[in-house]
Chain A
């Protein structure tokens, strides 16, 4: 039996919607099902309207669905706003004691507050009761939910676990006893699973520590604050140093200081936080200091919509900084890429002594998915050439030159503090020793030396991946978090006989010029799909390959794409 079931949990900020979504997801993931969770929230701590969507399938799921099977409404506004998204046989779970609506078809009242007080002992448990009720409606294995609650509340003690399990059970029993039969959709566990359930921010955070990053400085900013918090929370266990800096300028400059000394170091911020870091990016370029910056896009300009999603900083990342210097910009669109490209970012940063940007967005950072456990035995740490004390001695005392001219443009690094060598570098133009200069000849050679490194960087990159048949007539091109929506749109369109594939760009700089040019030369029609208003990727493709993309599907309202949106637009354009 095919399962493709979406929950939408809505209410005010502060009502614990995330815990409902998370508990449901984990319980399904434990039962071997595939889950995708995305969040929509406002820039406020309490009140407003916010929702979480959980999509459950019996096969891998990469994106959200616009069709809602079960709406869990913690306030009336949720019903008003979202009842039209409900499928025909869908269900709305709500507390009839609190929301005075006649329980017609599709409306299933559960006394959430009453049960929370009676069985859990507190109103706080309303969300736990609701979680239980949703599971009861579907006749899902309660033990899997109980396991999740034990894990989640285990740290808070046995009593808290027990009252939560009781509250969930009360909701579960109430729904099952009163509504099973009338509501007959069932989700069954597919057996135990060895999958992880995490979001893009967590995948990057994990990659950061696995990659051996030991120093992070940052100034909190949505959507990347959780990356800072994760690193700080692991500092004791993994011997890491986290500094919450006074501002973004300090953050990137602290990272440069640590990178100069030879420690893998990074910062994380949002697009407009990165605007403050741009000068530091240039300093890393000039002093050839390896650094990594995670930039989470949100709509701008300036502060924009702080908690929402966007892909409008692509050209900014590629060009940020005065003058010219090599850099890499990675644009992961899946949980797996978020993890593996983070490790690669540190390798490339160190091997080529350049800044590497990991460009994500709120949608990727905050959306969870079930994925196979990362195989850490496959992780490769490549630090480039770092001279040992013996090698330094063999060079002769104080002969080391930090910016020595070489064939590849990459000069071997030395660790400051190593006896017999001095590591000298400068934000001013400098000579091989690293000392400030003015002469035209050295200047010219140094610019070319730095740019030369980019040739090496290019060779390290894998070509962008194609999903679907190589020779499809229509190609949908995306980068970053649109991966899931485009992928599913490709599946849907192919089912109705439209010959389409996807070109997914997860490294946007160095730009995969030849590969994209080749794909475009084969396709009869091409689309870019981007969360910005001008089609920045289309612009880049044009300027790098000379080829024009036929159509742009753009969305810049701060909300992520759904597959249905893409399918609809492609169909219209293909017909026209």
Chain B
């Protein structure tokens, strides 16, 4: 049996009280509850405080460039589709720097899980606005308040045909564990956007701020397969913020539609130069 001890990692460099701690715990607990051994899991992370997550646990780790965790996770998944591949990054990483990769990963429906630590602020660079900061939010780089509308990952993901769209809250660890398990078990691209306070730099979206607003979709009569309903929930932001599986659908994954992968993982394919004589024949 896999236990939490198997995933125990080194000391962290996060601020005391940071939402990252509960996300880390939720990831570890979810993997343990699914009885996955650390060697079966690959976490590909980006840059930012979120990107440090795999260093504070034990599993295969590819800590990528800022915003490039998703394409590196895609390459890794296609090279060995038997690995459980989880990409982890922050809101700047995934929705700013990696925005184009995010949209195309959804369109492909590649079978990976993408956990986004969404704290509506840039923490690692010490407190600038992020793509998900609310309009009017005053930060060091937006002294007059943020001018743009906030990036809505949930609505975007649903509109692009994502097959698993969810939102968690770092203050609801048990709930988040269940979300991550569902996301990892889902066949296809699974988004888990995790609301998370930045205790040092975001004085607006605090633990208290979120606690007052979030409610679980599981607690109401809600059908996540209804796309119209899902869009309504995607735009619910203010006094009430829904968490849980917001949208879920089925369509073939990118990896299962690639003929080469039907014969086993790419990494186990043999290299045989002599089998290529036929290619030379084409030039004769």
Interface residues of A (CB under 8 A from B): 194-198, 202, 206, 209-212, 214-215, 217, 234-241, 243, 245-247, 249-251, 253-265, 279-280, 283, 287, 373-374, 376-377, 379, 381, 398, 415-428, 434-436
Contacts and interface: CB of A to CB of B under 8 A. Distances in A.
13 contacts: A197-B283, A214-B79, A215-B266, A217-B75, A236-B260, A254-B71, A256-B75, A261-B267, A262-B79, A376-B274, A381-B273, A417-B42, A427-B65
A206 B284 contact: no
Given A196-B283, A417-B60, A422-B58, A253 B79 contact: no
B237 interface: no
B55 A257 contact: no
Contact of B260 (A235, A376, A425): A235
Contacts of B260: 214, 235-236, 239-241
Contacts of A209: 276, 279
A158 to B, nearest CB: 21
A258 B68 contact: no
A96 B283 CA distance: 36
Given A416-B60, A417-B40, A434-B61, A427 B47 contact: yes
Contact of A254 (B75, B274, B278): B75
Contacts of A234: 279
Contacts of B68: 249-250, 253, 279-280, 283
A427 B273 contact: no
Interface in B225-281: 258-261, 263, 266-267, 269, 271-280
Contact of B78 (A236, A241, A280, A434): A241
A221 B75 CA distance: 21
B105 to A, nearest CB: 9
Contacts of B156: none
A139 to B, nearest CB: 25
B104 interface: yes
Contacts of B101: 246, 249-250, 253
A250 B273 CA distance: 29
Contacts of B75: 215, 217, 253-261, 265
Contact of A260 (B38, B55, B76, B276): B76
Interface in B68-96: 68, 71-80, 82-83
Contacts of A280: 65, 68
B52 interface: yes
B159 interface: no
A385 to B, nearest CB: 16
B33 interface: no
Rank and list the top 4 A-B pairs by shortest CB-CB distance, nearest first: A257-B75, A212-B271, A254-B75, A261-B79
Identify whether the interface residues of A are mostly helix, strand, loop, or mixed. mixed
B39 A435 contact: no
Contacts of B274: 376-377
A374 B71 contact: no
A299 B13 CA distance: 47
B62 interface: yes
B79 A257 contact: yes
Interface string B81-125: 011000000000000000011011000000000000000000000
Contacts of B269: 214, 239
A259 B72 CA distance: 10
B116 to A, nearest CB: 17
Nearest to B258: A241
B63 interface: yes
A373 B65 contact: no
A423 B267 CA distance: 15
Nearest to A416: B60
A423 B40 CA distance: 11
A197 B280 CA distance: 10
A123 B269 CA distance: 48
Interface string B26-48: 00000000000111101010010
Contacts of B16: none
A340 to B, nearest CB: 12
Contact of B80 (A195, A210, A373, A417): A417
Contacts of A424: 54-55, 60-61
Interface in B171-226: none
B39 A263 contact: no
B157 interface: no
Of the listed residues A202, A238, A253, A422, the one surrounded by the most CB atoms of chain B closer than 10 A to its CB is A253
Contacts of A422: 38-39, 58-61
Contacts of B65: 253, 279-280, 283, 427
B25 interface: no
